[in-house]
Amino acid sequence: MILRHRYHMLFEFSELDWLFHDSEDIDAFLKRIIDLIYKHMNITGCSIYLWDESSEQLIFMASEKTVDQAPFRNGEFTGLNIRKGQGVCGRAIDSGSIEYGSKRRLVMAAPIQRGSIPVGVLNLERAKRPFSIIDEGVIRVLTSQLANILENAKLFYSGNRNSYLEPGQHSLEFSSQIILQGIAGAPGTAFGDSYTLDRQRSFTELRRIKYDKVYTLGELEKAIEKTEEQLLELQKNVEENLSDSASLIFTSHLLILKDNSFRTEIKTRINNGNNAPAALLAVTENYIKAFSESENPFVKEKVEDLEDLVQRIFSNMIGDSSAPVNVEGRVVISKSLYPSDMLMLASEKAAGILLVTGGITAHIAILAQSLKMPLVIIDFPDLIKTDKPLPILIDGQTGKLCINPGKRIIMEFQSIQADRQANPEEMMLPDLITSRDGTRVNLFTNINLIPDLEEAMRMNAGGVGLYRTEFPFLLRSSFPTEEEQYAVYKQVIELAPDKPITFRTLDVGGDKILSYYKDYTEENPFLGLRSIRFCLKNPAVFRQQLRAILRAAGKRKIKLMFPMISTMEELRSARVLVQECHEDLQMSGIPSIMPEIGAMIEIPSLLGILDHLCDEVDFLSIGSNDFVQYMLAVDRNNEKMSEYYVPHNPSVLRALNQIAEACIKHNVELTICGEMAHQKEYLPFLLGIGIRQFSVSTSFLNQTQRIISETSITEAEIIADAALEHSSIYEIERILGIS
């Protein structure tokens, strides 16, 4: 009876996010929460307080009086603001633990916190029956889910938000310090004025400009010439710093500038009496209309290139400050970014990026890590509506961001920056990495771009556990040729002459879309034509890549890994193509040897055929991000589903153990990559089930090595065994130390 009641509550609480979105305002949301608690908990008093960092006190927000007019039954429900340590609520926010008003356990104060960061306190009271351990468990679940919503909902409270968007307004203005919790995308901190990258909106603003003078054709030509020089300089910077991404990301901009029909149409309008800016805008809008109506997605994408280009020309002609030509030292706010945008912002020395769509875009986060660009993702699209630059501080390690940071927070930021400069994270790894009790563990790096590998080799990484070969594809406007791929792969081979290298074949689809591939319209791209499926459906593209890799390797033994394998037939078909390419090269007199063949375990269908799989591969690698996604049927890029994306779900942990046992039984080398491979909560478990090879992004090498060296394998095995015994996520969180 009790358990059924408890799980009924958990089901209700799992709908909190939807309850929030269905509420007309935050007060209504809090009323519904209190109503829900009254409905299930048999209580006589309930209050919600939020922690205010600026005043360092709990601010009263709601109580049962917002639901009915029942009087308070305890002095704790006075509605007054509370300081740390003051009363049961103050003790709860101070200790971070559930506190009781007396030994009778009739008053419970539960801290609402995100990780170790205080958000507020939920205060409950009963008249007779004491609160039990079961009640504590239920309230912990509720407060953990409330934390995710209330951390960002603070923004809407009158004490923190001085002005808001009224009907007819086009911008938001913030005048006080606001701290928000987002999702960590790429580590690092950044502090600077914001720059809003919203091309469509910025382009619309150009129509509203009133010109103080008549601009001549000569002035326009000078602006175009200056724009071309700027683009060529940006392109040069990209090529010098990211040589393997020789993508010519500004090619389309330059081609438009050189297009005779484009310039002739503008010239004709100017000769007919139009002011040069108006002529430029009119011709551009005609092109945008034509591009937008095209059925070719690649042509449609060029709309953004054209908008970006024209804003640059306007800036150089009339000094328009809205044009995106100077982001140096600024935190860029945007709804979405292409990989080429990331390269452009890096080349223009942006300080950091704030994506305001909420969902994690995997390849953008990965690219930001490679570019050492701090990135935070938050579900707050209204931030894009800010007109004036805002001082913003972001922390890509924790996902925190602060708008209008006060002196104290700025000083903390400066202190962190000074510490990092004095003690840089990039330290040499030992030749031999071991656990605390002396067990050897191999630590490899994931690389996306050549600078990743250069840094990893400086740090003495054990090798390349995962080279994501898709990035040279993603950063281009057309398929790279075999020769272009060969040049990139050759650099990889030469930079790690005596280290193992694992090439993962082309992994596109899902959120990694090739804009120049015409057949990409899918209802559900994550379950569609992606990874090995794409390669087998496009054998000409696949063969080019395989030949380029084998040619670059020459007589050196490398590892070749196929992503998203779901059947033995896929594995065998891919291996046959490798064999054919190898034989073709040999017949042509080009040095080539067969690589070791492996597969990524990302799809649960492989769990039933692990023994057969192990018989036909040289090695296996667990892609933990996609593996969790497909095990749990949860889109990991969907912020609204984040509470369901739980890597420590018992089914996931048992599946990982099953894979590890199969590899040990068949003596097949096993590596794990993805987020789990560097997270301190999971490393002891993974070591405990027998995984001895980890591949992480270069920025996480030191952190991962440190955790491994502090972990005892004996203790890790005890932790793993205990976690595998339980079917409750909450018990597993207790065992793994997940707050």
Report the pLDDT averaged over residues 601-624.
96
Average pLDDT, the chain: 80
CA atoms of 605 and 603, how far apart (whole Å): 6
Please indicate, yes or no, whether residues 342 and 478 belong to a single structural domain of this protein. Answer: no
- For residue 723, being part of any structural domain is answered with no
Report the pLDDT averaged over residues 403-428.
73
Joined tokens for residue 561: 């890994």
- For residue 732, being part of any structural domain is answered with no
DSSP 476: S
- pTM for this structure? 0.64
CA atoms of 346 and 247, how far apart (whole Å): 14
**Segments forming the whole domain that contains residue 304:** 178-421
Confidence of residue 489 (pLDDT cuts 50, 70, 90): very high
CA atoms of 373 and 376, how far apart (whole Å): 10
DSSP three-state, residue 173: coil
Torsion sign, CA atoms 261, 308, 478, 533:
negative
- For residue 710, being part of any structural domain is answered with no
Please give the residue that has the higher pLDDT: either 288 or 74. 288
pLDDT score of 199: 63
Q: Label the pairing between strands 183-186 and 442-447.
A: unpaired
- For residue 659, being part of any structural domain is answered with no
Please indicate, yes or no, whether residues 498 and 537 belong to a single structural domain of this protein. Answer: yes
Joined tokens for residue 357: 């769509």
Least confident window among 83-97, 111-125, 291-305, 534-548: 291-305
Domain end, chosen from 674, 690, 720, is at 674
**Side chain identity at residue 639, one-letter code:** E
Give phi and psi for 70, each to the nearest 5: -60, 135
Give phi and psi for 286, each to the nearest 5: -65, -45
pLDDT score of 508: 77
Selection from 313-317, 361-365, 530-534, 731-735 with the highest mean pLDDT: 731-735
DSSP string spanning 113-166?
EETTEEEEEEEEE-SSSPP-HHHHHHHHHHHHHHHHHHHHHGGGSTTT-S--PP
Catalytic residue among 581, 663, 673, 678: 673
Domain end, chosen from 674, 691, 712, is at 674
Please give the residue that has the higher pLDDT: either 366 or 10. 366
pLDDT score of 722: 96
Joined tokens for residue 248: 């010519």
CA atoms of 425 and 678, how far apart (whole Å): 15
Please indicate, yes or no, whether residues 598 and 451 belong to a single structural domain of this protein. Answer: yes
Share of the chain above pLDDT 70, in %: 78
Joined tokens for residue 474: 């993603």
Report the pLDDT averaged over residues 27-51.
78
Please indicate, yes or no, whether residues 73 and 184 belong to a single structural domain of this protein. Answer: no
Q: Which CATH number fits the domain that encloses residue 502?
A: 3.20.20.60
- For residue 220, being part of any structural domain is answered with yes
647, 629 in Cβ contact below 8 A? no
| Residues ≥6 apart with Cβ < 8 Å to 395 | 184, 189, 374, 376, 401
pLDDT score of 202: 65
476, 440 in Cβ contact below 8 A? no
Would the pLDDT of 387 be above 70?
A: no
Please indicate, yes or no, whether residues 549 and 461 belong to a single structural domain of this protein. Answer: yes
pLDDT score of 349: 86
Please indicate, yes or no, whether residues 477 and 623 belong to a single structural domain of this protein. Answer: yes
Please indicate, yes or no, whether residues 589 and 620 belong to a single structural domain of this protein. Answer: yes
Please indicate, yes or no, whether residues 62 and 105 belong to a single structural domain of this protein. Answer: yes
pLDDT score of 3: 37
Please indicate, yes or no, whether residues 243 and 323 belong to a single structural domain of this protein. Answer: yes
Please indicate, yes or no, whether residues 251 and 351 belong to a single structural domain of this protein. Answer: yes
pLDDT tens for 33-43 read 787 787 777 78
Please give the residue that has the higher pLDDT: either 64 or 684. 684
Joined tokens for residue 691: 């995984």
Please give the residue that has the higher pLDDT: either 679 or 35. 679
Least confident window among 88-92, 202-206, 456-460, 633-637: 202-206
Report the pLDDT averaged over residues 65-94.
61
pLDDT tens for 97-135 read 999 988 778 889 999 987 777 889 998 888 778 888 888
Catalytic residue among 363, 582, 648, 678: 363
- For residue 535, being part of any structural domain is answered with yes
666, 686 in Cβ contact below 8 A? no
Domain total of the chain: 3
- For residue 720, being part of any structural domain is answered with no
Please indicate, yes or no, whether residues 375 and 471 belong to a single structural domain of this protein. Answer: no
Please give the residue that has the higher pLDDT: either 528 or 448. 448
Joined tokens for residue 441: 């563990």
152 C-beta neighbours (distance < 10 Å), count: 19
Would the pLDDT of 168 be above 50?
A: no
Would the pLDDT of 423 be above 80?
A: no
- For residue 719, being part of any structural domain is answered with no
Q: Which CATH number fits the domain that encloses residue 104?
A: 3.30.450.40
Report the pLDDT averaged over residues 457-481.
82
CA atoms of 509 and 511, how far apart (whole Å): 6
Q: Which CATH number fits the domain that encloses residue 247?
A: 3.50.30.10
Long-range Cβ contact pairs of 476-484 (< 8 A, separation 24 or more): 476/247, 476/248, 476/516, 477/247, 477/248, 477/251, 477/252, 477/298, 477/515, 477/516, 478/516, 479/514, 479/516, 479/541, 479/544, 481/544, 482/544, 482/545, 482/547, 482/548, 483/548, 484/246
> For residue 292, what are the CA distances in angstroms to 202, 265, 299, 478?
17, 19, 8, 20
Please indicate, yes or no, whether residues 93 and 128 belong to a single structural domain of this protein. Answer: yes
User: Is 21 tagged catalytic?
Assistant: no
pLDDT score of 60: 78
User: Is 363 tagged catalytic?
Assistant: yes
pLDDT score of 511: 57
Beta bridge partners of 192: 392
Joined tokens for residue 346: 């890096």
